[in-house]
């Protein structure tokens, strides 16, 4: 597969409203988009950092995977997302053939109109890994 850059870092927060002042007033980033991804039970806020982004993830209900993540590990880095240039489905096939456990067998719609798929953290040296394409 051909990965061109880190598309974004996903950070789990209990409240976007409580987290934003730190990112905007201290680090000086600008939040340019907040959207809810119903299917993932998450509300997301995006901030640009140079050529990449921070994605804040807030659970929309207690059975959201983000709620469970925060319950188990507290707020913090949740996943890393790589931009794939030659197709996420191709990358998934390649990972599958190399014995990497997949969470998603095919791409699905994510925030910002991206097509995304996750690799299992048990197969990726402990880091939940998202592959995405525009």
Give the residues across from 49 on adjacent strands. Answer: 52
Least gap, CB of 7 to Zn ion (angstroms): 8
CB nearer to Zn ion: give 10 or 59.
10
Q: How many residues bind Zn ion (CB under 5 A)?
A: 4
12 lines the binding site for Zn ion (CB under 5 A): no
Residue nearest to Zn ion according to CB distances in the complex: 10
CA distances, 7 to each of 17, 72, 83 (Å): 23, 26, 5
Q: Return the residue of 10, 53, 88, 117 that touches Zn ion, per CB under 5 A.
A: 10
The one among 19, 47, 81, 92 contacting Zn ion by CB under 5 A: 81
Residue 56 CA: distances (Å) to CA of 10, 52, 62, 68, 74: 6, 13, 17, 15, 14
In angstroms, rounded to a whole number, what is the distance separating the alpha carbons of residues 24 and 97? 42
Q: Which residues bind Zn ion (CB under 5 A)?
A: 10, 55, 81, 130
């Amino acid at each position: 597969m051909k990965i061109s850059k880190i598309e974004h870092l996903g950070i789990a927060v209990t409240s976007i409203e409580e987290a934003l002042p730190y990112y905007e007033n201290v680090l000086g980033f600008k939040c340019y988009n907040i959207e809810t991804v119903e299917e993932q039970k998450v509300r997301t806020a995006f901030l640009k950092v140079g050529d990449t982004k921070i994605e804040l993830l807030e659970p929309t209900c207690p059975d959201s995977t983000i709620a469970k993540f925060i319950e188990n590990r507290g707020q913090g880095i949740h996943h890393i997302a790589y931009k794939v240039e030659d197709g996420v489905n191709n990358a998934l096939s390649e990972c599958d053939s190399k014995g990497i456990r997949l969470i998603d067998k095919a791409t699905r719609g994510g925030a910002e109109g991206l097509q995304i798929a996750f690799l299992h953290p048990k197969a990726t040296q402990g880091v939940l890994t998202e592959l995405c394409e525009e």
